[in-house]
């Protein structure tokens, strides 16, 4: 199974901390979804939004034990959903991603989440909490 990672899991060191494994990945785009910061948290969430898109990363061939660890890592206000993503060379892939539950949309802020800001300002403490 492929996993579209749009938040902290885009960083290989976070994926390694969660699963204990490294996976091949490619840049990818998810259409008709928007990524937002989450109130009081250092990571984002996505929700459907026609005409928007999320540029991120797709991990390829995630094994079942790693998927179990990823499910446990994600908060209860997400559900895993099958989506179509497009790699940077235009190839369509099926992937699963973690989408905010509708009853949790109130946690989404209007501002976008920024991976580089997270990397600079929060990655170190985030990894310490998830060792």
* Model confidence at 130: pLDDT above 80: no
Domains and CATH numbers, the chain: 3-129 (3.10.490.10)
Contacts of 88 (CB under 8 A, 6+ apart): 26, 27, 28, 29
- The structure's pTM equals 0.92
What are the residue ranges of helices labelled H in 64-114? 64-73
What mean pLDDT is reported for the chain?
93
Q: Which two tokens stand for residue 62?
A: 């995630």
Q: Are 67 and 82 in contact (CB under 8 A)?
A: no
Phi then psi dihedrals of residue 4, to 5 deg: -85, 115
* Model confidence at 5: pLDDT above 70: yes
13 belongs to the catalytic site: no
> Catalytic: which of 13, 22, 74, 96?
74
* Model confidence at 50: pLDDT above 90: yes
Q: Over the stretch 69-114, which tens digit does the pLDDT of each residue have?
A: 999 999 888 999 999 999 999 999 999 999 999 999 999 999 889 9
Return the closest-CA partner of residue 99 out of 51, 41, 54, 42.
54
């Amino acid at each position: 199974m492929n996993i579209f990672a749009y938040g902290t899991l885009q960083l290989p060191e976070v994926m390694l901390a969660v699963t204990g494994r490294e996976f091949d990945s490619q840049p990818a785009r998810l259409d008709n979804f928007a990524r937002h910061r989450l109130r009081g948290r250092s990571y984002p969430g996505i929700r459907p939004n026609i005409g928007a898109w999320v540029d991120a990363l797709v991990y390829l061939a995630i094994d079942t034990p790693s998927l179990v660890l990823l499910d446990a890592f994600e908060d209860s206000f997400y559900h895993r959903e099958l989506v179509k993503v497009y790699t940077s060379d235009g190839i369509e892939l099926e992937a699963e991603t973690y989408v905010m539950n509708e009853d949790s949309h109130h946690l989404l802020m209007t501002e976008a989440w920024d991976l580089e800001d997270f990397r600079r300002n929060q990655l170190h403490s985030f990894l310490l909490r998830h060792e």
